[in-house]
Chains A and B, each alone.
Chain A
Amino acid sequence: GGGESTDEGADGATEITVGVIPIVDVAPIYLGVEKGFFKEEGLDVSLELAQGGAAIIPAVASGQYQFGFSNTTSLLLAQTQDVPVKVVTAGVNATEDPAADMAGVLVKAGSDITSPKDLEGKKVAVNTLKNINTTTTNELVRQDGGDPTKIEYVELAFPEIGPAIEKGDVDAGQVVEPFLTIGTQAGMTDLGSNFVAADPGLAVAEYFTSTSYAESDADTVEAFTAAMNESLDYAQQHPDEVKEILPTYTDIDEKVLAELNMPQWTSEIDAESIQKLADLSETDGLFAKDPDVDALLP
C-alpha cells in the first residue's frame, strides 16, 4: 500500500489517522486531542474506531492509518510473521493491585470456583483465543498452583461473556472494563487480575506505526510520540478528566462509570514487561518463531 506521503492540512498541520478501539484504554489520546497536545506538535489527528487489533494492524502495515493501538501480544505475533510494524510509544498498562485492575476473571455468584487454581478443567470464556488474555490467565492459574493446560477456553465477545457465565454455559470468563464493573455490579465474583498476575503494571498495549512510515516520516513519528507521551502522563494525573472524556466516544453507563477501575498510563515503554509477556506467550506456544522484542520497540 501507499501511505508514504503525509498530507498537509490547511493550516500547515500534518494530517494523521490513528486506529483505536472504543474502550477505556485509549482515553489519553482523546484527551490529548481535546487538550491540543497534538496540535502543538503540528499534528491534525483523526481517530478511527475499529473492533479490534486484528483490523488495525493490517491497516497500519499497509499505510491506511499512520498509527494504531494494539495489544502487545498481537504486535509480537505480527512481528514474528514479518508484518512490518514498529512500536512508537506506550499505550496502556495494568495496575499493580490484583484486586483493582482493569481486567479480571469473573465467576457466578456462589460459584464453587473460589480461587484461580479452581479453573483447572473448567470452561473459560475469553475475548480472543491464543492471545494476551489466555496467556495472562494461564499465568494467573499457574501462580495459584493450578495447571493451565487443563483449561478449556472458548471465544466469546466481551458483551456476551457475562450472560454466558450467568447461563452456566461457561464456568468463568476473562473480561476488561467496563464489563468487569458491569459483572461485579451484577453480583459476580472477580478472581483477580490476570494482567497483574503476569506482571504488575503489565504493558498491555502500545501505539505503533509501520516500519516504512517510521523511516520515511521520522519527524511526524517523533511529533506523535511527544504528544502521545504528554497525553499519557496527563491522563494518569487527571483521572477526573478521563471520566469526563469517556462518554464522548463510548456509551458506558454513568452508574458503571463511577466505579470503573482505571488502568495505568505512563510514557515509559516497559521493555522488560513486554519481554516477560513474550516469554509467557512462548511457553503457551503462540509463536511460530522467536519474537524479536528489540526490533519491535523503537
Chain B
Amino acid sequence: MAGTRPKRVAGRGRDAVLGVLGLLVVVGLAEALPRLGIVNDSYLPPASAMFAELVDQLGEAAFWTDLGATLRGWATGLAIAMAAGIVLGVVIGSVGFLRDLTASTIEFLRPIPSVALIPLVVLLYGSRPTSALILVVYASFWQILVQVLYGVADVDPVVRDTARSYRFSRLTTVRTVVWPTALPYVMTGFRLAASVALILEITAELIVGVPGLGKSIGVAQSSGAVEKTYALVIVVGIIGVTVNLVARALERRTLRWHVSIRKEAR
C-alpha cells in the first residue's frame, strides 16, 4: 500500500553499516582461510596476525615517514594528471579537428605500460621521487583523459544549441555546459586515476626504490616477512577506501543535480 509503506531508513547511515559489514566479511575470510588450513599460513597469515603487525607498525616513526612520502608523491602526481587530463581532454574533446588528429597517437601511447618505462625513468632520475612522479602521472593521465573525452561527447545537443543560440563564448560554454556534463565522467575518472596513481606510486617505490611504503613492502618481501608485507598492503587498501569515501562525498555535493544522486535523494 502506497502510503503506509515504511519510510526508507536514513540512507547514508545504513550505507556505512553495510560497507563495514562487507569489509568484515573479507576480514573474516582472511582469518578463516589460513586458520582452517585451506592456505598455508606462512604465505597468507591470518588477518589477526596482519592487524597485530599493523598495530606495531603504527608505533614506528619510519612507518609514518614512509606513509607521508607515499601520500605526497601520490597526491602530487594525481593532481598533475588530473589538471593535464582535464584541460587536454576538454580542449581535444571540443575541437573536432584536434580529436581526429590526436586519436591515433593517444591510442598508441596509452597501452605502453608504465612498468616498461621504469628503466628509462631510472636512467633519468634514479630512485629520486621524480621517477615515481613521472610514472604516476603517465599512468593516471590516460585514465582521466579518456573519461573526459567521453564526457565531453555526452553533451545534450539541445543544451549545446541553447548555449550556441545565446552566443556563449567558448569559455562560458566549457564552464557552464561541457564541464557539468562531463563531471560525472570526470568523477569516475578521478576514482580510477586515484587508485592507478596509488598503484604506480607503490610499484615505483617497490621496484625502483623510491622512498615510501612501497619500498618498505619491497624490503619486507625480500626478507620473507610476510606479515609485515600484508600489514603494509592493508594500509594501501585503506588509503584506497578513504579516497573513494572522499570522492563519493564530493560527488554528493557537486552532482546534486544529476540523476544518479537525485534518484537516491528521493
A residues contacting B by CB (< 8 A) are 1, 17, 19, 21-23, 48-51, 54-55, 58-59, 61-62, 64-65, 157-159, 162-163, 166, 178-179, 182, 186, 249-253, 256
Contact = CB atoms under 8 A, between A and B. Distances in A.
A50 B209 CA distance: 4
Contact of A182 (B119, B125, B224, B229): B224
Interface stretch (B6-14, B151-159, B167-175, B212-220): B212-220
A59 B229 CA distance: 26
Interface in B200-218: 206-209, 215, 218
A62 B123 contact: yes
B127 interface: yes
B191 interface: no
Given A163-B43, A256-B224, A55 B207 contact: yes
Contacts of B206: 51
Contacts of B207: 50-51, 55
A23 B123 CA distance: 23
Nearest to A61: B123
B126 A17 contact: yes
Nearest to A49: B209
A59 B127 contact: yes
Q: Which 6 pairs of residues, A with B, have the shortest CB-CB distance?
A: A64-B126, A251-B225, A50-B209, A251-B223, A250-B223, A62-B123
A249 B219 contact: yes
Contacts of A178: 223-224
B123, B207, B219, B224: which has the most chain A beta carbons within 10 Å? B224
B188 to A, nearest CB: 33
Interface residues of B, number: 28
B222 A250 contact: yes
Nearest to B218: A51
Contacts of A179: 224
B205 to A, nearest CB: 10
B122 interface: yes
A21 B222 contact: yes
A256 B119 CA distance: 33
A21, A23, A55: which has the most chain B beta carbons within 10 Å? A55
Contacts of A62: 122-124, 126
B42 interface: yes
Given A22-B219, A186-B42, A50 B127 contact: yes
Contacts of A21: 222
B40 interface: yes
A69 B118 CA distance: 19
Interface in B95-137: 118-119, 122-128
Interface string B218-242: 1111111110110000000000000
B127 A58 contact: no
A59 B126 contact: yes
A252 B228 CA distance: 11
Contact of A253 (B43, B128, B222, B224): B224
Contacts of B219: 22, 49, 249-251
Nearest to A159: B221
A185 B220 CA distance: 18
A48 B209 contact: yes
Contact of A22 (B40, B118, B223): B223
Given A50-B127, A166-B40, A64 B122 contact: yes
B254 to A, nearest CB: 40
Contacts of B118: 55
A58 B209 CA distance: 14
A24 B219 CA distance: 12
B124 to A, nearest CB: 7
B226 to A, nearest CB: 8
A48 B224 contact: no
Nearest to B225: A251
B221 A55 contact: no
